[in-house]
A and B are shown apart, each in its own frame.
Chain A
């Protein structure tokens, strides 16, 4: 049997803090059948991989006319679990500020997630800036989704691709107290935005876009482990793939612990 059949890697067995998945979902995806997309499915696959908890968003909310309906569904699913709610928001819709205030009261949301590619706006537009400013008072982190799936596969709908220029510009303009978590960026894209990411004290990125030879090792070397958060993009992506990219990376064990859980705990205090 190859070693790969073991469920947990060395890092997690030694780490008294279990891993946290900063980028996961439940719900339906309009373009294909998901066989494991419920809260129970998420909890099960996390447990199988030694992942203690996660920051969950609703796939449904991305496509609902009123995303808040999806947030209520998600809240129901999260009740009684240790998982945290990350709210999907479209800043082009009316009274989104009210939705945030309402969700803070009703749902104990722990972050705001935006999908400019699917909702049809640029990070350089005023709406994105207004959202960032609104979060300055709430302290909620902003999760910026750069991609949900490989663009080459999106033949039924073509989400707008975020350019490196707009990501860098957004980061540079918003070097403040609101944490910005970039979701789904490829290692090459992160390198392209390298200067902006390195200089910004409030910018992090997740691991769901890492797929190439020694990506994790290279990114730790380039950015340091402090900016990297484990995120799976489950159930759209294979969780085990992203997990192995961190778990089997040839990096210092302290850096691995930061990626799997340390940075998340620092960024998202209880």
Chain B
């Protein structure tokens, strides 16, 4: 079994992304995939509504395969209502925060408190770049601040914050933070370093489809110094535990 905890439908590309994601899941044996809708970096209320509706639609069309995250812009006034609609009406499995605000911005706090009430995980984009850092793109230390403030929250720090060597140490002692290694960074030692730093139980398989091929992340697990049990944890068991 493979569970992908990190993939997207991009605004304006619904049919194309849906087709490619379903095709890839069938080809490569992914049996469950958690999708969030993304568009502009500072989406207004209407755009957030549209991308969440598309994820809901995808869920309905691929009931066995697709689960959803409710995408939120914490700067929008209606963000709590949006979360309520996503979880209660659309039956989504978690909340997704991207790059509209830092994840430890105080405007995020009520959303996290609501996710704790709903008992759902929060997927947070985190990326530490040498070039091209976005103005409100969270780093791992932003994620760590949030996780320390809300130890009851279950947080997925996406992409191992890009550079695992700066990304993982801030969350090392925070057991309420998991990480995925989705995306296009395929350094040969990242999974080994992640296992040594936070342990295999907190690593999740994610792809970042349609932005990356599922094969590159599969290869990283296959090549790492992991026991068969640890591979199974990363490929699906950890996700099953987290989303229970």
Interface positions of A (Cβ within 8 A of B) = 2-5, 32-36, 45, 149-155, 158, 210-215, 234-245, 248, 250
Contact yes or no, B188 A34, CB < 8 A:
yes
**Chain B residues with Cβ under 8 A from A238's Cβ?**
186-188, 190, 216, 219-220, 223
A244 to B235, CA, bound (A): 16
Contact yes or no, A213 B210, CB < 8 A:
yes
Selected from B1, B130, B163, B218, the residue in CB contact (under 8 A) with A244 is B218
Contact yes or no, A150 B188, CB < 8 A:
no
Contact yes or no, A154 B130, CB < 8 A:
yes
| Contact of B75 with A by CB under 8 A | no
Selected from A2, A36, A244, A250, the residue in CB contact (under 8 A) with B219 is A244
Contact yes or no, A213 B29, CB < 8 A:
no
Known pairs A152-B130, A245-B213; A239 contacts B188 (CB<8 A): yes
Interface residues of B in 1-49 (CB under 8 A from A): 1-2, 20, 24, 27-29
Contact yes or no, B20 A32, CB < 8 A:
no
**Chain A residues with Cβ under 8 A from B235's Cβ?**
2
Q: Interface residues of B, CB < 8 Å — how many?
A: 43
9 nearest A-B residue pairs (beta carbon): A241-B219, A240-B219, A240-B223, A155-B130, A241-B216, A244-B215, A211-B184, A152-B129, A241-B186
Residue of A nearest to B163 (CB): A153
A131 to B190, CA, bound (A): 36
Residue of A nearest to B133 (CB): A152
**Chain A residues with Cβ under 8 A from B231's Cβ?**
5
Contact yes or no, A240 B213, CB < 8 A:
no
> Mostly helix, strand, loop or mixed at chain A's interface?
loop
Contact yes or no, A213 B209, CB < 8 A:
yes
Selected from B28, B186, B211, B222, the residue in CB contact (under 8 A) with A237 is B186
Contact yes or no, A245 B189, CB < 8 A:
no
Contact yes or no, B213 A213, CB < 8 A:
yes
Contact yes or no, B2 A34, CB < 8 A:
no
Contact yes or no, A33 B219, CB < 8 A:
no
**Chain A residues with Cβ under 8 A from B188's Cβ?**
34, 36, 234-239
**Chain B residues with Cβ under 8 A from A35's Cβ?**
189, 192, 225
**Chain B residues with Cβ under 8 A from A32's Cβ?**
165, 187, 189
Contact yes or no, B189 A248, CB < 8 A:
no
Residue of B nearest to A3 (CB): B29
Contact yes or no, B212 A211, CB < 8 A:
yes
| Contact of B162 with A by CB under 8 A | yes
Contact yes or no, A153 B212, CB < 8 A:
no
**Chain A residues with Cβ under 8 A from B240's Cβ?**
none
Q: Can you list, as one digit per residue, whether each of B132-148 has a CB less than 8 Å from chain A (1) or not (0)?
A: 10000000000000000
Interface residues of B in 115-167 (CB under 8 A from A): 127-132, 162-163, 165-166
Known pairs A213-B209, A237-B186; A244 contacts B216 (CB<8 A): yes
Q: How far is the CB of A93 from chain B (nearest CB, A)?
A: 27
| Contact of B174 with A by CB under 8 A | no
**Chain A residues with Cβ under 8 A from B127's Cβ?**
152
Contact yes or no, B219 A153, CB < 8 A:
no
Contact yes or no, B2 A213, CB < 8 A:
no
Residue of A nearest to B218 (CB): A4
Selected from A2, A151, A214, the residue in CB contact (under 8 A) with B130 is A151
Contact yes or no, A152 B220, CB < 8 A:
no
Contact yes or no, B29 A2, CB < 8 A:
yes
| Contact of B242 with A by CB under 8 A | no
Q: How far is the CB of B40 from chain A (nearest CB, A)?
A: 21
Interface residues of B in 179-224 (CB under 8 A from A): 184-190, 192, 209-213, 215-223
Residue of A nearest to B130 (CB): A155
Contact yes or no, A158 B130, CB < 8 A:
yes
**Chain A residues with Cβ under 8 A from B163's Cβ?**
152-153, 155
Q: How far is the CB of B17 from chain A (nearest CB, A)?
A: 10
Contact yes or no, B189 A214, CB < 8 A:
no
